Amino acid sequence: GAGVSQTPSNKVTEKGKYVELRCDPISGHTALYWYRQSLGQGPEFLIYFQGTGAADDSGLPNDRFFAVRPEGSVSTLKIQRTERGDSAVYLCASSLLGGATGELFFGEGSRLTVL
Amino acid sequence: DQQVKQNSPSLSVQEGRISILNCDYTNSMFDYFLWYKKYPAEGPTFLISISSIKDKNEDGRFTVFLNKSAKHLSLHIVPSQPGDSAVYFCAASAGAGGTSYGKLTFGQGTILTVHP
């Protein structure tokens, strides 16, 4: 497809487990972002990649969260020792840097539920 | 510390009338503002944006107004259509022109319902 693809769309796990969420951005988009949206809130910035490197990871809540983008395309958000408070929709977005509007193209999100 | 606030959780409007969605911000470093629309089970989609050097930007039925002195922006939809029913998020960024473009601070969202 032409849009941002995220898998899985839904993930239910138990407290303490490890989770990986995958994002496949729009082809040619060099910038990739992860956001987290909790119930009743707007998306909250987690991390930004320019190419393969994390240019800004200031939004990651703690060291249980980690993200990679080894080849500058697909990205994986990794959450260790999950907690119930990690339950949220994790949104991935991509963009062309230098675009006039700076608009982000979001995927449909991965809904994570930690029991 | 909510730097971008949408104080109205919901808004109900009759088809054909104007919808006005409001947004306030506190961070003076914000210089670029965007509105996103979100349907259930979909990701947010970009709607319209405005730079801090302007006070108005129009795109078809959608107009965004920016009042920098009041740190307030609004989105006007005229005429409203039932297909406009969605959650609308206001977002802001600092450092327009650089990588900060993608580092957006979002409001909590306003649920717009347009009745036929």
Q: Residue with structure tokens 């082809």?
A: A27
pLDDT at residue number A106:
95
Lowest-confidence range among A37-41, A97-101, B90-94, B97-101? A97-101
In angstroms, rounded to a whole number, what is the distance separating the alpha carbons of residues A93 and A26? 9
pLDDT at residue number A98:
42
> CB–CB of A55 and B99 under 8 A?
yes
Question: B41: alpha, beta or left, given left = phi > 0 and alpha = psi -120 to 50?
Answer: left
Backbone φ, ψ for residue A41 (5° rounding): -120, 165
- Copy the structure tokens of residue B18: 């104007």
Q: H/E element holding A112?
A: strand A110-114
B115, B82 contact by CB (below 8 A): yes
pLDDT beyond 60 at B99: no
The mean of the pLDDT values for chain B is 93
| d(CA B33, nearest CA chain A) in Å | 10
pLDDT beyond 50 at B90: yes
| d(CA A24, nearest CA chain B) in Å | 14
B2, B105 contact by CB (below 8 A): no
Q: Which residue from B46, B103, B107 is facing A45, i.e. has the nearest CB?
A: B103
Residues in chain A predicted with pLDDT less than 50, given as ranges, are 98-100
Q: Which residue has the higher pLDDT, A54 or B113?
A: B113
The pLDDT-based confidence of B27 (bands split at 50, 70, 90) is very high
Residues 47-66 on A with a CB inside 8 Å of B are 48, 50, 55-56, 59
Q: Which residues of A touch B42 (CB under 8 A)?
A: 108
pLDDT at residue number A2:
81
Helix (H, G, I), strand (E, B) or coil at A86: helix
pLDDT at residue number B12:
98
Q: Which one-letter DSSP state was computed for residue A98?
A: T
Of the spans A1-15, A90-104, B61-75, B84-98, which averages the highest pLDDT? B61-75
Question: How would you write chain B as a 3-class SS string?
Answer: CCCEECCCCEEEEECCCCEEEEEEECCCCEEEEEEEEECCCCCCEEEEEEECCCCEEEECCEEEEEECCCCEEEEEECCCCHHHCEEEEEEEEECCCCHHHHCCEECCCEEEEEEC
| d(CA B75, nearest CA chain A) in Å | 17
